[in-house]
Amino acid sequence: MMGQVDVRTEHGVVHGRTTTDGVSAFLGIPYAAAPTGPLRFQPPQPPQPWSAPRDATEYGPTAPQAESSGSAAAELLPNVVIPGDDYLNLNVWTPDVAGNAPVMVFVHGGSFTSGSGAVPIYDGTRFARSGVVLVTINYRLGADGFLWFGDGTPNLGLLDQIAALTWVRDNIARFGGDPGNVTIFGESAGAMSVCTLLAMPAAQGLFHRAIAESGAGHSVISPESARLIGARLAAILGVEPSREAIAQVPVSRVIAAQLQLAGEVGKRPKAKLWGDVAANLMPFEPVVDGDVLPTRLVDALVAGVNPTVDLLIGSNSDETNLFFVPSGVTKRINRFLLGYLVRGRFGAGSVLRAYRAARPTAKPGELLCGIATDWYYRIPLLRIAEARPRTYVYEFGWGSPALDGALGACHAIELPFVFGTLDDPAVAPLIGAQAPTVLAERVQQTWVQFATTGDPGWPAYEQDKRAEMYFDTESELRVDPRPVERASWTGVR
């Protein structure tokens, strides 16, 4: 039987629900005004106060996005799209509105063009049962969040995240959370956001610890690249290359144009056409403008800037299998094509030689997945860990049973383990019916312990030790796994 609970925020009372196990949920709470009309392409503004209690028992609208990318990988990943303008909202799960619990704020992934805090896999009930106040957020995606021509305010999607964290700072105590102990965590584009927030002056002091799952803040682009992307988007839409002109175009047309643009980038990933996007293949991502985002996190660390927050960062063993296996790419790769792709895309024949020597029985498609996984996910996070004390590293190795096990420990597979949502029917195609609950308990307990104390339970990563926790049915501490492969990336960007 459900109970009812009210909390007064700075903008008005929200009416939530409490389950029989004592967890209270408040869904769809606005943290900023709807970014429409004159507020489109503007920094987030405070929401209008409300006088009557606001129902917070159902998820609110999600950021405008395509219903599906149409890719084979997308069929394995659940998503929810809820129409409506008031989509700059967040969701809160709490064990006790009168408590003082650690707070965790989750930033969803989706290549900066899809996803939301309303996806059921991100349900915060189990975190709340573990004594944490869990918050999930929405933020502007695609062109509305990251389009920039060099004028106006860049990185609006990141500023939305900062606005949500500001709301947490100012309101979370009313939900039983400790505003002095806030951990941000995210996956994929959410993890890239987390690491990017570490380099943003406006985000400093809003959180105290950070967890980055499968993303290390390296996916950023230059202003020049942003202008190339913006100009092509405007040309597809048939308008002048400015945010003012694109603001007059219906959102549905902009989203369709974004999909066309992404397809063009994927078919012709050339730097002369797309700049930095040719490497990352994500048309809309954070822009290093020198002000809102001064630099990449890893570059700031090398320059001596050292954020005071504790950092837990990691990746999955077979990240890119999610993109290459269901689409059939791995089966089409032969030895010649593998060499062409690795040398042309990653610019290092020495890397290919190292991986061939370390994995002598691997097929060409398997080698491509291994190299791409490390280039895009593992090596960037290790470079952060090498440059920054108090960084803890993990690898998630449990493999999906889907496609006869060919997916392995692919991108996003750790999410239902982190949230303890193995029983969500939407993730069954990815994790099957017999995913180990013991592993889910271990992973979530680790995240909670880190958020509570700053110590996940193993030594920090140092270049002379290189300690990493490996999560599987039998988890273990490893020291410098695959050193030859790691070393082959020295000097490779």
Catalytic positions are 188, 319, 411
| β-bridge partners, 9 | none
State the number of CA atoms in the 13 A half-sphere of 369 facing the CB.
30
Could you tell me the two tokens for 249?
């175009």
Could you tell me the two tokens for 233?
């988007």
Secondary structure (H, E, C), 386-413: HHCCCEEEEEECCCECHHHHCCECCCCC
Which residues neighbour 105 within 8 Å (Cβ) at sequence distance 6 or greater? Answer: 135, 136, 137, 164, 165, 168, 182, 183, 184, 185, 207
SS3 content of the chain, % helix, strand, coil (to 5): 40, 15, 45
53-67: b or e for each residue (b if 16 or more CB lie within 10 Å)?
ebebeebbbbbbbbe
Could you tell me the two tokens for 77?
């990943």
Provide the residue type at 446 as one letter. Answer: T
Alpha-carbon distance of 114 to 292, in angstroms, equals 23
For residues 111 and 79, is the Cβ–Cβ distance under 8 A?
no
Query: DSSP string covering 165-197, please?
Result: HHHHHHHGGGGTEEEEEEEEEEETHHHHHHHHH
Q: How far is CA 95 from the centre of its chain?
A: 25
Provide the residue type at 314 as one letter. Answer: G
Q: How far is CA 329 from the centre of its chain?
A: 24
Provide the residue type at 363 as one letter. Answer: K
Alpha-carbon distance of 442 to 222, in angstroms, equals 40
Could you tell me the two tokens for 484?
């030859």
H or E element: which one contains 477?
strand 476-479
Alpha-carbon distance of 286 to 292, in angstroms, equals 10
Sign of the Cα torsion 372, 376, 377, 380 reads positive
For residues 431 and 400, is the Cβ–Cβ distance under 8 A?
yes
Q: How far is CA 396 from the centre of its chain?
A: 16
Residues 239, 242, 248: CA angle, nearest 5 degrees: 60
Query: DSSP string covering 236-266, please?
Result: HHTS-SSHHHHTTS-HHHHHHHHHHHHHHHH
